[in-house]
Amino acid sequence: MSNTMTAPPGALGRDALAGVRTRRILALVLDLFLVGILAAVIWTALLIVTFGLSFFFLPPLFPLIAFFYNGLSVSGAKMGTPGMRAMDLEMRMDDSGARVPFINAAAHAIFFYLSWCFPVIFVVSLLDAEKRCLHDMLVGAVVVRRL
């Protein structure tokens, strides 16, 4: 599989964007489930190892795991989280089609979770021709079907 898009930026084909919004929602549900399980396992292990002393320091564990989960999996060779891969999606840089760097992928996760505070922001995806959300635009990425 090539590491660059076949279409020039801004001219993605219909196939690359077909069903992206629905697939992203399903991928999100799967990813939240996986991060929740991972956080619960790590939280339980840390409680056992520290004999419960770490109980009060563990609440930020879920966002921390989500940060690295998104950053490492999207910037990795498969260019997507396990949920995105299950839904046949990948994230690429919008200007070059290259793999998203770790810092952009991790920032994408932060912006995504912050956007839940202002749900009206998700309307941007309905107005954008490439079906991009505001947090995609902020990091310079686009989510497409696997090429």
At residue 63, what are phi and psi to the nearest 5 degrees?
Answer: -65, -35
Q: What range does the domain containing 104 cover?
A: 15-145
Q: Are 109 and 66 in contact, with CB atoms under 8 Å apart?
A: yes
Whether 35 maps to a domain, the answer reads yes
Note whether residue 84 is domain-resident. yes
Task: Examine the pLDDT at 68 and tell me if it is beyond 70.
Answer: yes
Would you say residue 138 lies in a domain?
yes
Residue 3 belongs to some domain of the structure: no
Residue 128 falls inside a structural domain: yes
What pLDDT does residue 29 have?
A: 94
Whole-number pLDDT of residue 12: 59
Q: What does pLDDT average to over the chain?
A: 83
Q: How many domains does the chain have?
A: 1
Provide φ and ψ at 132, rounded to 5°: -90, 145
Question: Is the confidence at residue 17, as pLDDT, over 90?
Answer: no
CA gap 129, 49 in Å, rounded:
50
Region 45-66: mean pLDDT is 83
Residue 112 counted as domain residue: yes
In a domain, 42, yes or no: yes
The reply to whether 103 falls in a domain is yes
More confident residue, 56 or 16: 56
